[in-house]
Structure 1
């Protein structure tokens, strides 16, 4: 039985918030002398995952980078693959990407476009069997941790005919820690949510209504998908709406933080839970020049989806329009008509109307 479609899918997720607030952290940290600046630069060093970077000499490894202006190369359009993994204690240590998002960023025009990839989207790479979208990073990670980002970028880039420059990986447990660090959120829970799985330690037990949630409860709220005690199920699209509600509060809380102890704790959380193959020097320049790099306009692209177990299928016409926007934002003009349906699970409007 197919899940009902959602006419408006809002793709603002945990990982996009993390990317935004990382810049905010570094920007505000610059207003503090000494300690916080060192903390900020230490976080940047941790974020730029060592296994994806060129080796550093010992005498420069611990040096505090000097603030630099962004370069002409920094201002060129770029494409980033954002991914969020659930690697909490008790989850079995999986590296499945619960959230994936294609982001095109044009610093010159100060614009960004985002397309969220459903975790259950059917993907069939050439010569391989079909899997859900959340399978591939974990598969590459198990094969070779050091090449997992490169392999995943290549695969997703080929599927969408969009070269991907960088990948950013965020551990969802960092989100839980960050919520606790800012004191939790007041959230209007839209439905009863009950789900227990002793195998991986999941225990979601929320009741409908306005209430104060801690980090664990907030993560349960944004991740809830189904019940095993008779309460209503929830689609991936419902989860995206909840994430929007929570992340709006996260940004409000972060802008009100003050004091070295609060910012120091948040910077430690970010450094421990975000990894990327963006070179450390580039990342430092971007974050220390956050106002110049930050987009003024963000286009959240919508592609309607239809769930037919076990996969999600995208609307072909919607995807084509969304990809045209992503291409335009990075000044890319693919040659000829692209058939995304060769490797992605798609349906047409005529098919959907006959159902």
Structure 2
């Protein structure tokens, strides 16, 4: 009897342990299935896939071969109520990613830089996505991508549009960002509900505050005004922190909410099948090194005017990340409002991860 009692106890412990493990494994399977279905729904909502054109680069396809460099045009869009129905493109970035070297180059285009396309009127850089969107909502992304690709004579594989309300929700879901606010910021606009009130110094910003931080330009409450260059630097700081958060343990645990936000707030012409592959290959695609190339320039109301040499340097850095040589055929002054050539003043801020 004395020997049977411990055996029964061990048996009960084993059964209980197996039961608990079974529940855990079952729970993980259910949660994995839940995330898969949620991801599938989100990807289908995000994708605005267009038929591939002959000769279109197939950047990033994962077929067991070395992954090719990929290029993107990213646009941050704000079309809040109270803005008179306008669609403001507050952020424009050209991104070149080399998955093999795990390096990426980000070129921030000033929203107030004057562009001089041949077929459309000369306007600020932030005008053209809204222009194409108002002409044809379904074709806005491929047409805007083609516009910038032809203007700068660079390959752009895909475009993604992120609505700022989704950006705010994403930052809140990730628990805020630890940001070094570079100056006191105060601005109020009762018409569209803008109320920016930030103090200089490192602090945790929630979604609204982070959005205020990257959008701040002018003040009507006594604080100093900001430049497009400073805004670009803030965007770089926030982008680096977002990538860190999304790949942290907490970020992964919150992917369900993140996928919901992405489905509501992101539109892209990346095909759904390729988006799925990239999620599975995210460890290979995530860059270890980000090279930020902001375009500096002087303010000549209502435009930001960079130098021709600065623009050339920025585009060359972008092309180099894609493994392409510099383009000496592009006459930059013909497509962008620029100052006469002068010594290069582009600064490269490298964010190491």
Shift of 1:265: 1.6
Ranked by relative contact order (alpha carbons within 8 Å, sequence separation 6 or more), the top structure is 1
Instruction: Indicate whether 1:38 and 2:37 are aligned.
Output: yes
Equivalent-residue separation in structure 2 for 1:146 and 1:250 (angstroms): 29
User: Which residue in 2 is equivalent to 1:257?
Assistant: 250
Shift of 1:230: 2.7
Equivalent-residue separation in structure 1 for 2:328 and 2:237 (angstroms): 40
**What RMSD, in angstroms, separates the aligned Cα atoms of the two structures?**
3.0
Equivalent-residue separation in structure 1 for 2:236 and 2:319 (angstroms): 25
C-alpha spacing 1:329/1:86, structure 2 compared with 1 (3 Å): same
Contact map agreement 1:121 1:133 (CA 8 A) in 2: yes
User: Which residue in 2 is equivalent to 1:269?
Assistant: 261
Equivalent-residue separation in structure 1 for 2:81 and 2:331 (angstroms): 41
Equivalent-residue separation in structure 1 for 2:86 and 2:205 (angstroms): 25
User: Which residue in 1 is equivalent to 2:322?
Assistant: 330
Counterpart of 1:213 (choices 188, 198, 205) is 205
Question: Which structure 2 residue ranges, 5 or more long, are not aligned?
Answer: 1-27, 52-60, 346-353
User: Which residue in 2 is equivalent to 1:313?
Assistant: 305
C-alpha spacing 1:83/1:73, structure 2 compared with 1 (3 Å): farther
C-alpha spacing 1:131/1:350, structure 2 compared with 1 (3 Å): same
Contact map agreement 2:236 2:292 (CA 8 A) in 1: no
Residues matched between the structures, number: 308
Equivalent-residue separation in structure 2 for 1:76 and 1:186 (angstroms): 33
Question: Which structure 1 residue ranges, 5 or more long, are not aligned?
Answer: 1-28, 55-68
**1:1-355 aligned within 5 A:** 33-49=32-48, 52-53=49-50, 70-71=62-63, 75-209=67-201, 211-254=203-246, 255-257=248-250, 262-333=254-325, 336-350=328-342
Q: Secondary structure at the match of 1:114?
A: strand
Contact map agreement 1:159 1:340 (CA 8 A) in 2: no
Equivalent-residue separation in structure 1 for 2:29 and 2:314 (angstroms): 37
Larger Rg: 2
Shift of 1:229: 2.5
C-alpha spacing 1:124/1:106, structure 2 compared with 1 (3 Å): same
Q: Deviations over 1:79-110 (max 9, x none)?
A: 21111101234334433321111122233443
Contact map agreement 1:84 1:170 (CA 8 A) in 2: yes
Shift of 1:164: 1.8
C-alpha spacing 1:147/1:158, structure 2 compared with 1 (3 Å): same
Equivalent-residue separation in structure 2 for 1:214 and 1:132 (angstroms): 30
Equivalent-residue separation in structure 2 for 1:167 and 1:252 (angstroms): 22
C-alpha spacing 1:106/1:248, structure 2 compared with 1 (3 Å): closer
Q: Deviations over 1:128-152 (max 9, x none)?
A: 4321000000011001111111221
C-alpha spacing 1:30/1:80, structure 2 compared with 1 (3 Å): farther
User: Which residue in 2 is equivalent to 1:66?
Assistant: none
Equivalent-residue separation in structure 1 for 2:175 and 2:100 (angstroms): 37
Equivalent-residue separation in structure 2 for 1:298 and 1:127 (angstroms): 34
Equivalent-residue separation in structure 2 for 1:318 and 1:105 (angstroms): 21
Equivalent-residue separation in structure 2 for 1:332 and 1:249 (angstroms): 29
Equivalent-residue separation in structure 2 for 1:211 and 1:142 (angstroms): 39
C-alpha spacing 1:334/1:269, structure 2 compared with 1 (3 Å): same
Equivalent-residue separation in structure 2 for 1:145 and 1:74 (angstroms): 35
